[in-house]
């Protein structure tokens, strides 16, 4: 079984949806660890309620950056993690982690990258920018994480059509629904590539 670590900072709806697909038997993998910089976010609370190991790591838990990186790498090692899945993780990953897991760290971004990516493009900022640019479509990008944010190799994308009357909130809702139906499928493909005998 492929062992997944989820990294999330907030609501955790993507994490919950991936976990549900595992429970339903659609995705043959195991979420072994949930890592967050926020000890009281929904993602961490849900992990605890479901007996999934958690790691809270932030400047509050370890002020020193080197120690934070070491604790993060050690915990990932101890849990024998094969794949790291970012799902709304708001902190930059240490370069040591990115180098240690080439092509084994993925992220979901709620736009059709390279459009609406990069600095300040997170949360509702993205959907507001999409509406302002009068785009007739938006969507979801799953990509590998490399040293430059939102610039890692794109693995797959899913589009949603937009209506001229859509508000940023409407776009957010449409895109999130696609995130939930799409992320687990991409993860399933990657798990299969990592271990085709499963």
Closest distance of CB 118 from ligand GRF, Å: 13
Closest distance of CB 1 from ligand GRF, Å: 23
Residue 111: strand, helix, or coil: coil
Closest distance of CB 64 from ligand GRF, Å: 27
Residues 62 and 71 sit within 8 Å (Cβ to Cβ): yes
Residues 99 and 22 sit within 8 Å (Cβ to Cβ): no
Dihedral sign, CA of 37, 66, 53, 90?
A: positive
Burial class (CB in 10 A: 0-12, 13-18, 19+), 57: buried
Residues that bind ligand GRF (CB under 6 A): 8, 10-14, 87-88, 108-110, 176, 179
Q: Given the complex with ligand GRF, which of 124 and 198 has the nearer CB atom?
A: 124
Residue 71: strand, helix, or coil: helix
Closest distance of CB 198 from ligand GRF, Å: 25
d(CA 47, CA 15): 9
Residues 159 and 112 sit within 8 Å (Cβ to Cβ): yes
Candidate list 19, 109, 127, 143, residue with the active-site label: 109
Strands (E), 97-181: 105-109, 137-144, 154-161
Closest distance of CB 12 from ligand GRF, Å: 5
Q: Given the complex with ligand GRF, which of 89 and 101 has the nearer CB atom?
A: 89
Q: Given the complex with ligand GRF, which of 154 and 176 has the nearer CB atom?
A: 176
Name, in order, each residue with C-beta under 8 angstroms of 66's C-beta and a sequence gap of 6 or more: none
62 is catalytic: no
Q: Given the complex with ligand GRF, which of 14 and 37 has the nearer CB atom?
A: 14
Here the tokens at position 67 are 């120690």
Q: Given the complex with ligand GRF, which of 88 and 152 has the nearer CB atom?
A: 88
Catalytic residues: 109
């Amino acid at each position: 079984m492929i062992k997944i670590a989820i990294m999330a900072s907030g609501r955790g709806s993507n994490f919950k949806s991936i976990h549900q697909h595992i429970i339903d038997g659609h995705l043959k993998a195991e979420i072994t660890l949930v890592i967050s910089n926020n000890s009281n976010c929904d993602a961490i609370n849900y992990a605890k309620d479901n007996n999934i190991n958690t790691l809270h790591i932030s400047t509050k838990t370890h002020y020193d950056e080197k120690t934070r990186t070491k604790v993060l790498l050690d915990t990932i090692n101890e849990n024998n993690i094969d794949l790291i899945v970012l799902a709304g993780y708001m902190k930059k990953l240490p370069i040591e982690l990115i180098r240690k897991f080439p092509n084994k760290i993925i992220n979901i971004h709620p736009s059709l990258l390279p459009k609406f990516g990069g600095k300040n493009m997170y949360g509702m900022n993205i959907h507001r920018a999409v509406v302002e640019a009068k785009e007739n479509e938006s969507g979801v990008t799953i990509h590998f994480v490399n040293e430059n944010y939102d610039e890692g190799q794109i693995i797959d994308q899913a589009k949603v059509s937009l209506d001229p009357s859509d508000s940023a909130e409407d776009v957010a809702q449409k895109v999130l629904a696609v995130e939930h139906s799409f992320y687990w499928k991409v993860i399933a493909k990657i798990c299969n590539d990592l271990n085709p005998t499963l």
